[in-house]
Structure 1
Amino acid sequence: MNFQRVTPESVGIPSGAILDMLDQLYREGIEMHSFKLLRHGKVCAEGSWAPYAPETQHILFSFSKSFTSTAIGFAVQEGIISLDERLIDIFPDKAPEEPGENLKKCQVRHLLMMGCGHETEIEWASGGSSDWVKLFLHHPFVYEPGTHFLYNTAGTNMLCAILKRKTGLDMTEFLKPRLFEPLGMGEIHCVKMPDGVEMGGAGMSVTIEEMARFVQFIANKGSWEGKQLLNPEWFDLATSKQIENAGAGWGGDPDWQAGYCFQFWRCAPDGVFRGDGAYGQYGVVMTKQDAVLVIHSSSMKLQAVLTAVWEKLLPEMRDEPLADDHRAHHMLEKRLERLELNTMLGVHNPGAEASLNGAVYVPKGHVPGLRDIVGGPGCFAPEGGSLESVTFKFEGTRAQLLCKEDRGEYTLDLGMEGHFATSLVHGVPFGANSSWRAHDTLEVHLVNTKVVMGKRFLFKFSGSELTVTGTPTLPEAMSLGDVQSSELHFELSEGEINTKTRMYWEVND
């Protein structure tokens, strides 16, 4: 099934309200990647900000949890799993020999509601134990299950481990015939833990269309194209408040105080709930308005994204169709056609570009491959490999970087024409936008469009030396520790072209 495309006014939403929401997101400094707005199951507005593209699967982070919850719902429906099953009965070989009373009471439902009884979360990601299930069960269960909220991604990963123990299938394998194929979704993958269990708490990637189909399925309470795939009673549980989360360390943001469900969050506005992932991956269901909004973005200002929806969009929805507003709708259409991340003007440096055309630089010491250099949240493990050389190529207004790695060669279009250019690097789409910042400094904004952020690189030339420094496109993310600045060093290789290049930069230093 393909979604029907309609005008916002035909489903009771003013085009001007959508424009106002986009304007507020821009004023707040939210880096939007893609969005899709549906009402009554019909798409009334959608767009992607270049170089992000609607056909590219985008990391979801904790929005993955809502898929995991739905997988458990199917398993409950089929009698594979019971919400009342105890963890120690599912993993008797991993449990302590003398489990405490709280661990004895812990059931599948408590993992779903983030209330297993842990006071702190185990280390399950970098450096975690390969037998993390055993680590989870041996971690102190301080509270009686169901009484204390702790946002616990390891607990969601435990749900995937339970599903695999019960069925022998990964979560995505289990969902493929039950959910992905009926909804017309593509091949969906999830990052795996050290023991091969999928990271259902954070590791999935989907396109914005696939995300919209899933969230509409949730809004439909398990119905799709006239078929009830998952019983509606599951959604009465999964999307209703199961545990109190006010004052649980989420600051004063109202949408993190309204109650937690089964891997969904209640929102401050009445009748609204959402799936939610780091840096602003949202699937919002407005039940009273019969509306769905899905968002891929990159921001640390998570409440600001939702507030823009509550203030600019939600109050303007009407029960009946609105009269056509040709001017506002035309403005919205043109805005959505031209969406792009903030770009730099393509300032050229003819003398420098002529000197660099064909010049080959080689690393001074080991330099990782491009995907690891750019990195960013969503790259859960290094790709490996090393960069062996880069060659500059300038023709007219076009600039390219020919990269040779130990795993192969590729050409990166630097986007020197005032817009992002897209290139495939080992099958992954990268976007680049570049401009000369000074006579000896080329700035390159480079993003891996499968993850949430990239880096701004400064290429500084001096004699035979090239120094490349990179800083994250979202500076606040450096506080998390998994996004860092970088500095790389290169030198010209031997050759006639490179000798001319060195002489140019020695004269112009």
Structure 2
Amino acid sequence: MPAQRVLLPRSTPAASGMSSRSITALLDRLEARSVECHSIMVVRRGHVVAEGWWAPYSAERPHLLYSLTKSFTSVAVGLAIADGLLSLDDRVVEVLPDHVPADISEQARRLTVHHLLSMTTGHRTDSLAEAWRLEPHDLVKGFLRVPFSKAEGTRHAYDNPTTFVLARMVERVTGRGLPEFLDERLFAPMGVEHAEWDRVASGAAFGFHGLHLTTEAVAAFGELLLRGGLWGDRRLVPREWVRLATRRHIDTLPFEDGSGNADYLRGYGYQFWMSRHGYHGDGSFGQLCVVVPSHDLVVVVTGANTQAQAVFDALWECLLPGMDGAGSTRDDEILTDRLRRLSLAPVPGSAAPERSVRARLDASAEDSALPDATTVTVHPVDGGWLLGIGSSLDVEVGHGRWRESSPLGRPVVAAGAWQGDTFVADLYLITTPHRVRLVVDAEAGTAVATWNIVPLTGPGLALHLRSPLMTRPDVA
């Protein structure tokens, strides 16, 4: 893989006026709470002061951001507005008249860019599944057909299609695809050389999810926002748009089950969440870009967990107290060594017995990654195994080290071991938060394949090994 371009300068916690012990305390807290992280980057006063990746994740790998993508789409909207091509008061029906249903309601006719950005269109909950059901080939039209329970502008509801519609509006007024528009106006000037987008079946970028970026690229985005849209001495995003997008426009509500988390009840901006300190872009399963202007701080975390609030608690309780603490070079060295050795737990076990196994997949487990009765074979090769899945997937598995293969285009990094008569392998879809654990019972001739966290775009493994992923998202 080619060398990654450096986007941000490096320094040490001590040189940036903070104690590295606070970062160590943050890592300790996340570990104690079993929060699975894949990367972390701390930027203070414009310099990266701490960075680490839990093997097999690594610095050069892009990572699926899920709904953190929405914050990038917000910037695209701001750029279109700055160009005079769009305004906050423009209505969906005026910009996308060919997507207007014949039976459109008066409220749907009134929906504006502001309502979409702030997710205040009047839907009670996320309308994605219902919109797809109503219009399987036109999500904009389906979104406009979903009934409204509240008046527009009065209530926030997290609603994925709002961002999809915004992406299509940007494309209509600019004449460019969303990825191409952001490449030209944002990523290329910043030096971000690889931004991959997952797409719906028509080929359009989701807009509300699906962007893959490296941890440093996300940190650079946070730093761009912190500097009010300036990248070096070049203005990429209008300061006024950054201010508008990252301030509260509407209150946020507890979840329907009555629960609520402190950093999700501070209000919502234009595709950004307000936090107890600063604001953040947020993606499912732990993809976070946290910007804290009061401390000249950006923190990026990627991972595979459902404990986002635990990350915020750790940031505020462990990291912030060290922002103006006295640091030492020895503490910095200890932290650097720890960050260098981060790793997810490999599969324990041996390389023996060196035998080939053939099994049939039992898909009775909920959300199995593979169809029932799929043939699974395990063949020993030098330093590991060749795993055959069905007729088209061959995955290389290492023992005591990670092995990479790309059976359908997107890389898989895998390691495994024998545990008695059972072969166990972890298959990391390394540009996503997801992995599959495959367990083969050699005596019974059966296998099971289960996700650590099921991808929101469906449980089928083969779908997520293709690049770009193209699917109709059945769930939010």
TM bin (shorter chain): 0.7 to 0.9
Distance 1:92 1:196 in 2: 20
Amino acid paired to 1:80: L
Amino acid paired to 2:293: T
Give the corresponding residue for 1:435: 417
Aligned pairs for 1:226-375 (under 5 A) are 226-247=233-254, 249=256, 251-269=259-277, 272-318=278-324, 322-326=326-330, 328-349=331-352, 352-353=353-354, 356=355, 359=356, 361=358
Q: Which moved more, 1:254-263 or 1:193-202?
A: 193-202
Distance 2:7 2:105 in 1: 52
Amino acid paired to 1:138: R
* Pairing 1:473–2:476 present: no
CA-CA distance at 1:323 after TM superposition: 4.5
Give the corresponding residue for 1:393: 380
CA-CA distance at 1:248 after TM superposition: 5.1
Distance 2:101 2:394 in 1: 52
Distance 1:275 1:174 in 2: 20
Question: Which of 107, 118, 129 is equivalent to 1:123?
Answer: 129
- 1:212 match: secondary structure: helix
Deviations 1:290-342 (A, max 9, x none): 01011111101121111111110012201xx835241x222211111111102
How large is the Cα RMSD of the aligned pairs? Answer: 2.9
Number of aligned residue pairs: 450
- Tell me the percent identity: 32
Quick check: 2:361–2:446 contact (8 Å CA) kept in 1? Answer: no
Distance 2:157 2:327 in 1: 48
Quick check: 1:160–1:197 contact (8 Å CA) kept in 2? Answer: no
Quick check: 1:6–1:42 contact (8 Å CA) kept in 2? Answer: yes
Amino acid paired to 1:154: P
Deviations 1:200-251 (A, max 9, x none): 1011111112111111111111100101112100111100001111335472
Distance 1:145 1:290 in 2: 36
Distance 1:316 1:483 in 2: 42
TM-score (norm 1): 0.81
- 1:47 match: secondary structure: strand
Amino acid paired to 1:446: L
Give the corresponding residue for 2:442: 461
Go from structure 1 to structure 2 and tell me whether the alpha carbon gap of 1:124 and 1:47 turns closer, same or farther (over 3 Å shift).
Answer: farther
Give the corresponding residue for 1:448: 429
Give the corresponding residue for 2:396: 412
Distance 1:337 1:329 in 2: 12
Go from structure 1 to structure 2 and tell me whether the alpha carbon gap of 1:334 and 1:122 turns closer, same or farther (over 3 Å shift).
Answer: closer
Residue ranges of structure 2 left out of the alignment (5+ in a row): 1-5, 462-476
- 1:442 match: secondary structure: strand
Distance 1:389 1:247 in 2: 45
- 1:192 match: secondary structure: coil
CA-CA distance at 1:432 after TM superposition: 2.3
Go from structure 1 to structure 2 and tell me whether the alpha carbon gap of 1:347 and 1:248 turns closer, same or farther (over 3 Å shift).
Answer: closer
Go from structure 1 to structure 2 and tell me whether the alpha carbon gap of 1:389 and 1:302 turns closer, same or farther (over 3 Å shift).
Answer: closer
Go from structure 1 to structure 2 and tell me whether the alpha carbon gap of 1:174 and 1:52 turns closer, same or farther (over 3 Å shift).
Answer: same
TM-score (norm 2): 0.87
Aligned pairs for 1:105-144 (under 5 A) are 105-120=110-125, 121-123=127-129, 129-144=136-151
Q: Which moved more, 1:37-46 or 1:111-120?
A: 111-120
Give the corresponding residue for 1:493: none
Q: Which has the higher contact order (CA 8 A, sep 6+)?
A: 2
Go from structure 1 to structure 2 and tell me whether the alpha carbon gap of 1:457 and 1:187 turns closer, same or farther (over 3 Å shift).
Answer: same
CA-CA distance at 1:175 after TM superposition: 0.9
Structure possessing the higher radius of gyration over alpha carbons: 1
Give the corresponding residue for 1:492: none
CA-CA distance at 1:167 after TM superposition: 2.4
Distance 1:165 1:113 in 2: 20
* Pairing 1:219–2:223 present: no
Aligned pairs for 1:183-198 (under 5 A) are 183-198=190-205
Deviations 1:476-502 (A, max 9, x none): x59x894599xxxxxxxxxxxxxxxxx
Deviations 1:260-316 (A, max 9, x none): 0000000023xx100000001000001100010111111011211111111100122
Quick check: 2:66–2:287 contact (8 Å CA) kept in 1? Answer: yes
CA-CA distance at 1:197 after TM superposition: 2.7
Go from structure 1 to structure 2 and tell me whether the alpha carbon gap of 1:334 and 1:200 turns closer, same or farther (over 3 Å shift).
Answer: same
Give the corresponding residue for 2:469: none
Distance 2:387 2:158 in 1: 44
Residue ranges of structure 1 left out of the alignment (5+ in a row): 376-381, 486-509
Quick check: 1:122–1:139 contact (8 Å CA) kept in 2? Answer: no
Go from structure 1 to structure 2 and tell me whether the alpha carbon gap of 1:126 and 1:436 turns closer, same or farther (over 3 Å shift).
Answer: farther
Deviations 1:443-489 (A, max 9, x none): 21221111112122211112xx6321123224xx59x894599xxxx
